[in-house]
């Protein structure tokens, strides 16, 4: 039992480092730009690694066509594409972060 307690104390001692790494990972994700496109690149949506929409571009000729429903569908498709890619990038970033965490002590406490 005391072995697990010592392991837990070691993990708690690393919280400052873990917090800094998490903050850095979030800053990196916020700075990333992920692009989704639709309609033969007539619509382009850009999100950051956190999934926030930061830019949208629509080709003027698409708007001039007057088909509002098609424009809406293409915008939605481009945003969804970019957002899905951002989720994948964030998952990869968080996986890298958790790989560096000393979870061994927690697994022992949880009976794993």
pTM given for the model = 0.74
Phi/psi-derived region of residue 97, left when phi > 0, alpha when psi is between -120 and 50, beta in every other case: alpha
Q: In DSSP terms, which residues pair with 36 in a beta bridge?
A: 45
pLDDT digits (tens, 9 = 90+) for 42-61: 999 999 999 999 999 999 99
pLDDT of residue 111 exceeding 60: no
With a pLDDT cut of 70, the percent of the chain lying above it is 76
Mean pLDDT (the chain) is: 84
Percentage, residues of the chain above pLDDT 90:
60
- Angle formed at CA 34 by CA 32 and CA 36, multiple of 5 degrees: 170
pLDDT tens for each residue of 71-85: 999 999 999 999 999
DSSP alpha helix (H) spans, 15-59? 15-31
Q: Roughly what angle, to the nearest 10 degrees, separates helices 15-31 and 68-99?
A: 150
């Amino acid at each position: 039992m005391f072995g697990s307690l010592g392991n837990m104390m070691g993990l708690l001692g690393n919280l400052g480092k873990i917090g800094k790494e998490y903050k850095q990972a979030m800053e990196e994700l916020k700075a990333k730009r992920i692009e989704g496109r639709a309609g033969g690149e007539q619509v382009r949506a850009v999100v950051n690694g956190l999934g926030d929409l930061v830019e949208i571009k629509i080709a003027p000729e698409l708007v001039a066509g007057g088909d509002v429903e098609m424009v809406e569908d293409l915008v939605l498709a481009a945003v969804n594409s970019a957002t899905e890619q951002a989720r994948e990038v964030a998952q990869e970033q968080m996986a890298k972060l958790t790989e560096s965490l000393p979870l061994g002590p927690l697994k022992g406490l949880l009976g794993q």
